[in-house]
C-alpha cells in the first residue's frame, strides 16, 4: 500500500528537490536527466500490475485523511486507471527526454520541471482516486499546474492570455463537476465511485440524476476541449512544445475522456447521456477538422486536430454507452466494440499526436518557423524528422500500416451500427452519424496531407527560414522515434495491447459486460465491407481535395473571425470587463461618505428585510433586570464622551474623552460581573491613551474652530435606520430561543481544555483553528510589508549605484 502512495506522490516530493538540483547541478548536467527518473520509475512500477489486472484483479488501498469528515484517499487500480497511468508516465518519460534537448539550460528549468511534476502527480491522483472529493482536488490541481506550464514564458502576452483562458474555462467546468459530485454523493450516500456504480439503479431513479449528469459532463467537456469549449486549446499552444506534446496529446485533454469513461456505468444507457456525449463528440470532430484546415501555423493546426480527435473518442464513448442500455447479448456486444475502439484510439492518439507535436518542436527549433507558408522541401535536409512526421500524419489520417487505421475502421463500424440501433430516435436521424464521421474524416485526411507534404515536400527555400537548417540531434529525435515505432508496432500486434491493457480497461467502463460475452479481436482486414469502402472514399476524395486545395482552401481561410467561437468568447469577456468597470466606477467614487452609505444601506436592507420577511421581530422583556441609576449614568457618560470626541477643538480634550469612553465601558463589565474583561479593557485603554499622548507632537494641529457640517437628510435616515436595526436585532435575538444554549458546554471548560478561565479556553482551545488563521493572516501581511520594504530599499540602492 505504501509503495503505491509513494509513487503517486513521488512527483510532488521530487518537485521540492528540483530547485536544489537546478541550483547546484544544472551547470554540469541538465536537470531533466534527474527529473526523468520519476516517471520512468513509476512506469516500471505500474508495468508490474499488467498481468494481474489483465486476469481480472483489482487493487484498493485506503489512506485515512480527514476521518471525521469521511474523506480518505482511496487509491484504486483497475484496467482503466492502469491504462491512463501508463500513458501519463510512459509519454511523460519521453517528453522529459525530449525536453532535455529542446529546452535551453539558460532557461528557468527549475520552474519548468516543478510545474511538469506537479501536473504529472495531479494526473496520477485523478486516475487512481476513488474518492470523489479527492478526485476533484487533483482535478483542479491539473488546471492550476497547466496554467503555470502554459504561461511558462510569462513575458509573452500571448502566453499569459492563453493560460488565463484555459484556466477560466477548465476551472469553470470543474466547479460544475463539483456540483455534480455533490449531487451524486447525496443520491448514493457515499463518496466512493465504485460504491456509486454498485448503487446505479437507485441513482438512476433519483430526481437529481439528470442535473448531476449535466454538471459532470460540463467538467468533462471543458477539460477535453469539446464543442464549444475547445477554444482554450489552440491558445494553450503558446506553451513550450514539450508541454503541448504532454498536456494536449496524452494527459490533460484526456482527463475529460477518463471522467466520461469512469462515469459511463452510472449514466450510460440514458438517452440524455447518449445524445450529449455522442452528439457533442461528432460535432467536435467535424468542427475541429474544418477549423484545422484554416490554420497556417503548425501548432494551432495540431491543436484543432487534437480537438477533432478528442471528439472522435468522445463520440465512441457515447455510442459505447448503449451497451449499458442493451446489456449482455448480441446488441450489447455490438456497442461494446465502440467503447473498445474509444480506448484503442485514445492510446493510438497519444502515440501519433505526441510524435507530431515533437516534430513541430523540431521544425521550430531548427528553422525558426512554424508557418507552413514559409516552409517546404524540408525532407531534403531533415529526412528522419520527415519519416516521423509521415508515420504520425498518415496514422492520424487513418491509413495503413499504422495504428490509426485500425481504430478509424472501428470508428466507421461503430457509427454504422448506431445508425441502425432503432432506439432514442436513431431510426430517423441516426444516418447523420456516419455522414458526419465520413465528411470529418475527409477533412482530417486533407489537413494531414497539408501538414506532411506542405511542410516537407515541394521546393526547398532556405532564404525564407530564420536559421541554417540541419537535422535535429539524436537526443531530440529519440523520443518521437520511439513513439513512431509504437505507431507501426501496434498496427502489426494490436491484440497484445488489446489483451493486456485495453480489455481490462473496457471491463471498468462496462462492468456489466463480462469478457466472456464478447471476443474482441483487432484485425487490419475484414473483407470488403462498408467501413473499407468509407476509407477508400476518404482517400480518393481527400486526395482530390488536396490536389486542388489552391482553388478552395484560400476561401476557407477567409472565414470571418467575427463569427469564430474564439472571437465571441473574447468579446464576451471584454464586454463583461467593461460592464464591471462601468458598475465599479459608479460606486467607487472616492468618497468615504458614499462607501458608508452603501455599506449601511445594504446592512439595513438585508437584516431588517430578513426580519420582516421571516417574521423574526419578537420581543420578550419578561426576564429582563431593572435598569438602575448606575446603568443610566454610565450610558449618559458614554454619550457625552462620544460627543466630546467629535466636537472637541483641543486634541488633549479629545484624547481624554476617548479614554473616558473606554473606562466607562470597563465599568459596564464590572457591573455585569466580568472582572477579567474589565481589567483587560482598562489595560488596553491605558496603553492606547499613553500611545496617543506620545504621538501627540507628530500629529497635525487641529483647527481652532470646528467646521460646521452641513445637515443631510440621507445621513439622518441611514443613522437612525442602522441604530434601529441593531436594536431590533438584539432584542429579537434575545426573544427567540430556537436552540438550547451552549453555555453549559463551555462551563465544563476545565475538564475539556484544562483551563480554569472560560474566556481563555474559548479563545485558545475551542476557537483554536480560528485563532491560528488570524495569526496566519497577520503573518502573511507582515511578510508582505517586509517584502515591499525590502524591494523599495533594493531599488533605492540600485538607483544610488547608477
The 10s digit of each residue's pLDDT in 577-609 is 889 888 888 888 888 888 888 899 999 999 898
Counting DSSP H helices and E strands in the chain, the numbers are 38, 2
C-beta separation of 236 from 150 below 8 A: yes
Q: Which of 697, 715, 738 delimits the end of a domain? A: 738
> Cell for 618?
419578537
Name the pLDDT band for 721 (thresholds 50, 70, 90): very high
Interatomic CA distance for residues 452 and 402, integer angstroms: 15
546 versus 518: which is more confidently predicted? 546
Q: Work out the mean pLDDT of the chain and round it to a whole number.
A: 87
How many structural domains is the chain composed of?
3
Name the pLDDT band for 48 (thresholds 50, 70, 90): very high
pLDDT digits (tens, 9 = 90+) for 103-162: 887 888 889 999 999 999 999 999 999 999 999 999 999 999 999 999 998 888 889 989
Label residue 741 exposed, middle or buried (CB < 10 Å: 0-12, 13-18, 19+): exposed
Whether residue 171 is contained in a domain is answered as: no
328 versus 400: which is more confidently predicted? 400
Label residue 525 exposed, middle or buried (CB < 10 Å: 0-12, 13-18, 19+): exposed
Mean pLDDT over 614-624 rounds to 78
Kindly state the percentage of the chain with pLDDT values over 90.
Answer: 48
Interatomic CA distance for residues 93 and 488, integer angstroms: 20
Q: Which of 738, 758, 780 delimits the end of a domain? A: 738
294 and 364 part of one domain: yes
pLDDT digits (tens, 9 = 90+) for 234-263: 888 888 999 999 988 878 899 999 999 999
Structural domain of 351:
268-557
Whether residue 564 is contained in a domain is answered as: no
Q: Could you tell me the CA-to-CA distances from 619 to 609, 623, 729 in Å, in that order?
A: 17, 11, 10
Residue (of 386, 393, 402, 417) closest to 305 by Cα position:
393
Q: Produce one character per residue of 640-651: b if its CB has 16 or more CB atoms within 10 Å, e if not.
A: ebeebbeebeee
- pLDDT at residue 723 greater than cutoff 60: yes
CB proximity list for 213: less than 8 A, separation 6 or greater: 180, 267, 270, 272, 273, 276
444 and 494 part of one domain: yes
714 and 752 part of one domain: no
Which pLDDT score is estimated for 688?
85
pLDDT digits (tens, 9 = 90+) for 420-432: 888 888 888 888 9
Q: Could you tell me the CA-to-CA distances from 455 to 222, 443, 461, 710 in Å, in that order?
A: 31, 18, 11, 77
Which pLDDT score is estimated for 135?
94
Name the pLDDT band for 518 (thresholds 50, 70, 90): low
Interatomic CA distance for residues 437 and 286, integer angstroms: 7
Q: Produce one character per residue of 269-294: b if its CB has 16 or more CB atoms within 10 Å, e if not.
A: bbeebbebbbbbbbbbbbbbbbbbbb
Whether residue 67 is contained in a domain is answered as: no
Q: Which of 738, 766, 785 delimits the end of a domain? A: 738
pLDDT digits (tens, 9 = 90+) for 19-41: 988 888 877 788 889 999 999 99
- pLDDT at residue 517 greater than cutoff 70: no
pLDDT digits (tens, 9 = 90+) for 446-472: 999 999 999 998 888 888 887 888 898
662 and 757 part of one domain: no
- E-strand ranges in 243-369 read none
Whether residue 217 is contained in a domain is answered as: no
Mean pLDDT over 408-413 rounds to 94
598 and 717 part of one domain: yes
Name the pLDDT band for 201 (thresholds 50, 70, 90): confident
546 and 675 part of one domain: no
Q: Is the peptide bond before 401 cis (omega within 30 degrees of 0)?
A: yes
Which pLDDT score is estimated for 699?
67
- pLDDT at residue 638 greater than cutoff 70: yes
Name the pLDDT band for 569 (thresholds 50, 70, 90): confident
Interatomic CA distance for residues 758 and 86, integer angstroms: 57
Which pLDDT score is estimated for 802?
55
- E-strand ranges in 697-740 read none
Q: What is the pTM of this model?
A: 0.81
513 and 662 part of one domain: no
741 versus 515: which is more confidently predicted? 741
Whether residue 216 is contained in a domain is answered as: no
Mean pLDDT over 320-332 rounds to 82
* Planar angle of CA 445, 451, 453, nearest 5 degrees: 95
Which pLDDT score is estimated for 697?
64
Which pLDDT score is estimated for 73?
85
Interatomic CA distance for residues 702 and 698, integer angstroms: 12
pLDDT digits (tens, 9 = 90+) for 758-784: 777 777 777 777 888 888 998 999 998
277 versus 525: which is more confidently predicted? 277
719 and 764 part of one domain: no
Interatomic CA distance for residues 97 and 109, integer angstroms: 14
Interatomic CA distance for residues 441 and 268, integer angstroms: 26
- pLDDT at residue 700 greater than cutoff 70: no
777 and 718 part of one domain: no
628 and 721 part of one domain: yes
Whether residue 771 is contained in a domain is answered as: yes
Residue (of 486, 524, 493, 498) closest to 349 by Cα position:
486
Whether residue 733 is contained in a domain is answered as: yes
pLDDT digits (tens, 9 = 90+) for 352-361: 999 999 999 9
549 and 467 part of one domain: yes
- pLDDT at residue 307 greater than cutoff 90: yes
Kindly state the percentage of the chain with pLDDT values over 70.
Answer: 95
C-beta separation of 435 from 280 below 8 A: no
Which region among 34-43, 207-216, 361-370 has the lowest average model confidence (pLDDT)? 361-370
451 and 321 part of one domain: yes
- pLDDT at residue 704 greater than cutoff 60: no
Which pLDDT score is estimated for 114?
94
C-beta separation of 487 from 348 below 8 A: yes
Whether residue 412 is contained in a domain is answered as: yes
- pLDDT at residue 621 greater than cutoff 80: no
Amino acid at each position: 500500500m505504501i509503495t503505491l502512495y509513494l509513487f503517486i506522490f513521488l512527483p510532488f516530493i521530487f518537485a521540492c528537490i528540483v530547485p536544489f538540483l537546478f541550483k547546484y547541478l544544472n551547470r554540469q548536467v541538465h536537470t531533466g536527466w534527474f527529473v526523468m527518473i520519476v516517471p520512468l520509475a513509476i512506469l516500471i512500477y505500474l508495468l508490474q500490475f499488467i498481468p494481474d489486472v489483465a486476469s481480472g484483479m483489482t487493487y484498493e488501498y485506503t489512506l485515512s485523511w480527514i476521518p471525521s469528515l469521511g474523506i480518505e484517499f482511496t487509491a484504486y487500480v483497475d484496467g482503466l486507471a492502469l491504462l491512463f497511468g501508463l500513458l501519463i508516465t510512459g509519454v511523460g518519460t519521453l517528453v522529459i527526454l525530449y525536453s532535455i534537448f529542446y529546452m535551453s539550460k539558460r532557461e528557468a528549468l527549475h520552474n519548468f520541471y516543478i510545474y511538469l511534476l506537479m501536473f504529472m502527480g495531479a494526473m496520477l491522483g485523478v486516475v487512481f482516486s476513488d474518492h470523489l472529493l479527492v478526485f476533484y482536488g487533483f482535478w483542479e490541481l491539473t488546471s492550476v499546474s497547466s496554467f503555470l506550464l502554459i504561461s511558462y514564458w510569462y513575458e509573452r502576452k500571448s502566453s499569459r492570455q492563453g493560460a488565463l483562458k484555459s484556466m477560466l474555462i477548465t476551472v469553470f467546468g470543474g466547479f460544475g463537476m463539483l456540483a455534480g459530485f455533490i449531487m451524486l454523493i447525496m443520491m448514493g450516500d457515499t463518496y466512493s465511485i465504485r460504491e456509486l456504480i454498485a448503487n446505479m439503479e437507485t441513482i438512476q431513479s433519483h430526481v437529481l440524476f439528470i442535473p448531476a449528469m449535466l454538471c459532470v459532463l460540463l467538467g468533462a467537456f471543458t477539460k477535453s476541449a469539446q464543442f464549444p469549449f475547445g477554444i482554450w486549446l489552440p491558445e494553450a499552444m503558446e506553451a513550450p512544445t514539450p508541454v503541448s506534446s504532454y498536456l494536449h496529446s496524452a494527459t490533460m485533454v484526456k482527463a475529460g475522456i477518463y471522467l466520461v469513461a469512469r462515469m459511463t456505468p452510472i449514466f450510460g444507457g440514458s438517452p440524455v447521456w447518449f445524445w450529449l456525449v455522442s452528439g457533442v463528440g461528432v460535432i467536435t470532430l467535424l468542427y475541429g477538422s474544418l477549423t484545422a484546415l484554416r490554420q497556417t501555423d503548425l501548432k494551432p493546426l495540431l491543436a484543432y486536430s487534437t480537438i477533432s480527435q478528442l471528439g472522435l473518442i468522445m463520440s465512441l464513448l457515447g455510442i459505447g454507452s448503449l451497451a449499458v442500455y442493451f446489456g449482455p447479448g448480441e446488441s450489447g456486444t455490438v456497442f461494446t466494440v465502440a467503447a473498445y475502439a474509444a480506448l484503442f484510439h485514445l492510446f493510438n492518439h497519444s502515440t501519433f499526436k505526441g510524435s507530431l507535436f515533437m516534430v513541430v518542436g523540431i521544425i521550430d527549433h531548427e528553422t525558426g518557423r512554424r508557418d507552413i507558408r514559409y516552409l517546404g522541401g524540408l525532407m531534403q535536409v531533415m529526412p528522419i524528422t520527415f519519416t516521423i512526421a509521415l508515420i504520425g500524419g498518415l496514422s492520424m489520417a487513418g491509413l495503413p500500416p499504422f495504428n490509426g487505421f485500425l481504430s478509424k475502421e472501428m470508428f466507421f463500424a461503430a457509427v454504422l451500427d448506431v445508425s441502425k440501433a432503432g432506439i432514442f430516435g436513431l431510426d430517423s436521424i441516426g444516418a447523420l452519424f456516419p455522414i458526419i464521421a465520413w465528411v470529418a474524416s475527409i477533412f482530417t485526411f486533407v489537413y494531414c496531407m497539408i501538414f506532411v507534404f506542405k511542410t516537407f515536400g515541394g521546393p526547398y527555400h532556405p532564404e525564407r527560414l530564420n536559421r541554417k537548417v540541419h537535422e535535429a540531434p539524436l537526443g531530440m529525435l529519440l523520443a518521437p522515434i520511439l513513439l513512431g515505432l509504437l505507431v507501426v508496432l501496434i498496427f502489426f500486434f494490436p491484440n497484445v495491447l488489446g489483451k493486456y491493457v485495453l480489455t481490462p480497461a473496457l471491463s471498468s467502463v462496462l462492468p456489466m459486460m463480462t469478457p466472456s460475452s464478447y471476443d474482441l479481436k483487432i484485425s487490419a482486414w475484414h473483407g470488403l465491407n462498408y467501413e473499407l469502402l468509407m476509407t477508400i472514399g476518404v482517400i480518393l476524395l481527400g486526395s482530390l481535395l488536396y490536389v486542388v486545395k489552391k482553388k478552395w482552401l484560400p476561401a476557407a481561410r477567409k472565414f470571418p473571425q467575427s463569427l469564430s467561437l474564439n472571437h465571441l468568447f473574447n468579446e464576451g469577456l471584454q464586454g463583461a470587463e467593461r460592464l464591471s468597470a462601468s458598475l465599479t466606477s459608479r460606486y467607487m467614487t472616492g468618497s468615504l461618505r458614499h462607501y458608508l452609505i452603501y455599506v449601511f444601506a445594504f446592512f439595513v436592507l438585508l437584516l431588517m428585510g430578513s426580519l420582516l420577511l421571516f417574521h423574526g421581530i419578537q420581543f420578550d422583556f419578561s426576564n429582563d433586570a431593572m435598569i438602575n441609576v448606575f446603568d443610566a449614568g454610565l450610558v449618559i457618560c458614554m454619550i457625552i464622551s462620544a460627543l466630546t470626541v467629535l466636537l472637541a477643538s483641543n486634541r488633549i480634550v479629545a484624547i481624554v474623552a476617548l479614554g473616558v469612553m473606554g473606562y466607562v465601558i470597563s465599568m459596564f463589565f464590572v457591573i455585569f460581573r466580568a472582572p477579567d474583561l474589565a481589567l483587560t479593557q482598562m489595560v488596553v485603554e491605558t496603553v492606547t491613551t499613553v500611545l496617543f499622548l506620545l504621538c501627540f507632537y507628530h500629529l497635525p494641529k487641529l483647527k481652532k474652530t470646528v467646521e460646521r457640517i452641513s445637515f443631510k437628510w440621507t445621513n439622518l435616515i441611514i443613522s437612525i435606520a442602522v441604530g434601529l436595526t441593531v436594536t431590533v436585532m438584539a432584542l429579537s435575538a434575545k426573544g427567540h430561543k430556537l436552540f438550547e444554549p451552549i453555555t453549559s458546554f463551555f462551563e465544563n471548560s476545565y475538564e475539556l481544555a484544562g483551563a480554569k478561565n472560560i474566556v481563555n479556553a474559548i479563545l485558545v482551545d475551542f476557537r483554536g483553528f480560528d485563532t491560528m488563521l488570524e495569526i496566519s493572516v497577520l503573518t502573511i501581511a507582515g511578510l508582505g510589508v517586509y517584502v515591499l520594504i525590502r524591494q523599495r530599499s533594493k531599488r533605492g540602492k540600485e538607483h544610488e549605484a547608477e
